[in-house]
C-alpha cells in the first residue's frame, strides 16, 4: 500500500465518526473503529449488515457516492437518532458545570486580595495562597480544554504502538516527590514487553491521572500500584491503591465530569481526571471501570484491545 493509501486508511480508522466505505456491491472496503463498535458483524471484506442503510439498526445514514479508479464507491456516515439533542444537553450541562467550578477559586482569590488590603495582615502569606488559587483555576482551564479537544477529535489517541512499561515508570518518577509529600507510595508492575496502539502522550495522560487520583484521595500511608498485564479481553492497565476507598454506590459516577466522592469534596482536584481517562481509553477502543480494591481502596481497570 502506498503512502496515500496508508494515510487514507488511518484517517478512516481513527475517525471519531462512524464511517463506512462500501463498493458497488455493498461490500465493506474500510470502516472506522467507532462504526465497528456500533454495528455488530461489520467487517472489511464482508457485506454490510442488513438494515444499516435503511436505518433499521437505529442509525441515520448519510451516503456520499464517488468514483475512484473507474469504480463506484460510497462513504456512509452514521449517526444515532437523538445524538444532536443529547449533545446540546451535554454541552449546556458542561458549560454550567465549568462556570460553577471556576467561581470557587475566583471567589477565594477575591477574598484573599480584599484581606491583603487590611492593616496588619501577612501580605506575603496571602499572596502565596492567592497564587495557589490561580494555579487551581489554570489547572481547571487546562483540563477543560484538553477534554474538549478529545471530544472534538483534535487530539489523536491511537497512532502507532508504544511499549507501556517505560511510560509508566516515567510517570511514577515524575510524581514521586509529590506522592511522598502526600504520604502515598508509588510502584509499577508488569510485563516490560507489552505494547499498546496508543500515542505515548495519551498513555502518560491516563497513567498520570490514575496516579494523581490516588495521591489526592487515597490518604497517607497508602500504596498505589500502576500495573500492565495481558488479560482475557486485551491489555489491562490497572491503577489500584489500598487507601480509604470509595463507597460502592459512588463507583459508577467516578468517571462523570466534576464528580467528587464524599471523602474527596474538600480536595483541590478539578474532578476531571477520571473523565479524561475514560475518554482516552474509549477512543482507543477500550473500556474502563472502577471497583473496590481487595479489602479496601480503589481499583481502576482500563482494558485496551490487543495489537
Of 95 and 193, the one with more pLDDT: 193
Which residues form the domain of 237?
162-304
Q: Are 225 and 286 in contact (CB under 8 A)?
A: no
206 and 275, same domain (yes or no): yes
pLDDT for 223: 94
Q: Which residue has the cell 445514514?
A: 61
- Give CA–CA dist 214/69, Å, rounded: 55
For the stretch 43-74, pLDDT in tens is 888 998 888 887 776 777 888 888 877 788 88
Q: Are 21 and 8 in contact (CB under 8 A)?
A: no
141 and 166, same domain (yes or no): no
pLDDT for 252: 80
- Give CA–CA dist 148/174, Å, rounded: 25
**Number of structural domains the chain divides into:** 3
Q: Are 159 and 199 in contact (CB under 8 A)?
A: yes
- 297 backbone φψ class: left, alpha, beta (φ>0; ψ -120 to 50): left
45 and 71, same domain (yes or no): yes
∠ CA 296-297-303 to the nearest 5 degrees? 120
112 and 73, same domain (yes or no): no
pLDDT for 238: 93
Residue 13 domain-assigned?
Answer: yes
The residue out of 57, 80, 103 marking a domain boundary is 80
- Contacts (Cβ under 8 Å, ≥6 apart) of 163: 192, 193, 194, 195
pLDDT average, residue stretch 237-253: 86
Average pLDDT, the chain: 79
Give the pLDDT band of residue 130 (cuts 50, 70, 90). confident
Give the pLDDT band of residue 264 (cuts 50, 70, 90). very low
For the stretch 207-240, pLDDT in tens is 988 999 999 888 899 999 999 999 888 899 999 9
- In sequence order, what DSSP letters do the residues of 49-72 get, joined into one string? PTTTTTTTTSEEEEEEEEEETTEE
pLDDT for 109: 82
72 and 98, same domain (yes or no): no
45 and 89, same domain (yes or no): no
111 and 25, same domain (yes or no): no
Residue 23 domain-assigned?
Answer: yes
The whole-model pTM stands at 0.55
- 280 backbone φψ class: left, alpha, beta (φ>0; ψ -120 to 50): alpha
Burial tier of 262 (Cβ tally within 10 Å: 0-12, 13-18, 19+) = exposed
Residue 157 domain-assigned?
Answer: no
∠ CA 159-205-289 to the nearest 5 degrees? 95
The residue out of 127, 152, 177 marking a domain boundary is 152
What Å distances lie between residue 203 and 125, 196, 268, 284, CA to CA? Answer: 38, 9, 24, 10
Q: Are 298 and 290 in contact (CB under 8 A)?
A: yes
Phi, psi of 119 (to 5 degrees): -65, 145
pLDDT for 154: 45
- Give CA–CA dist 116/137, Å, rounded: 20
Q: Which residue has the cell 467507532?
A: 34
* pLDDT above 80: residue 191: yes
What Å distances lie between residue 249 and 1, 235, 246, 252, 291, CA to CA? Answer: 51, 27, 8, 7, 10
Amino acid at each position: 500500500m502506498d503512502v496515500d493509501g496508508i494515510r487514507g486508511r488511518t484517517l478512516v480508522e481513527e475517525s471519531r465518526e462512524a464511517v463506512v466505505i462500501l463498493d458497488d456491491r455493498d461490500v465493506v472496503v474500510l470502516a472506522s473503529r467507532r462504526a465497528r463498535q456500533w454495528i455488530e458483524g461489520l467487517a472489511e471484506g464482508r457485506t454490510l449488515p442488513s438494515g444499516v442503510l435503511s436505518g433499521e439498526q437505529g442509525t441515520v445514514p448519510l451516503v456520499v457516492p464517488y468514483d475512484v479508479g473507474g469504480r463506484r464507491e460510497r462513504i456512509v456516515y452514521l449517526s444515532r437518532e437523538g445524538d444532536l439533542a443529547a449533545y446540546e444537553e451535554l454541552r449546556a450541562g458542561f458549560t454550567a458545570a465549568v462556570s460553577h467550578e471556576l467561581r470557587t477559586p475566583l471567589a477565594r482569590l477575591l477574598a484573599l486580595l480584599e484581606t491583603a488590603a487590611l492593616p496588619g495582615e501577612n501580605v506575603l502569606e496571602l499572596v502565596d495562597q492567592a497564587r495557589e488559587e490561580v494555579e487551581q483555576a489554570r489547572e481547571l482551564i487546562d483540563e477543560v480544554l484538553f477534554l474538549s479537544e478529545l471530544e472534538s477529535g483534535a487530539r489523536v489517541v491511537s497512532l502507532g504502538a508504544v511499549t507501556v512499561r517505560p511510560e509508566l515508570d516515567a510517570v511514577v518518577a515524575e510524581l514521586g516527590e509529590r506522592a511522598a509529600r502526600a504520604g502515598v507510595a508509588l510502584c509499577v508492575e508488569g510485563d516490560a514487553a507489552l505494547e499498546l496502539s496508543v500515542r505515548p502522550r495519551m498513555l502518560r495522560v491516563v497513567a498520570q491521572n490514575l496516579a494523581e487520583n490516588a495521591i489526592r484521595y487515597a490518604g497517607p500511608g497508602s500504596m498505589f500500584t500502576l500495573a500492565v498485564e495481558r488479560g482475557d479481553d486485551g491489555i489491562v492497565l490497572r491503577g489500584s491503591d489500598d487507601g480509604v476507598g470509595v463507597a460502592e454506590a459512588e463507583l459508577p459516577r467516578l468517571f462523570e465530569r466534576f464528580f467528587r466522592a464524599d471523602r474527596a469534596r474538600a480536595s483541590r482536584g478539578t474532578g476531571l481526571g477520571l473523565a479524561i481517562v475514560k475518554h482516552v481509553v474509549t477512543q482507543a477502543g477500550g473500556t474502563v471501570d472502577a471497583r473496590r480494591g481487595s479489602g479496601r481502596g480503589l481499583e481502576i481497570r482500563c482494558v485496551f484491545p490487543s495489537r
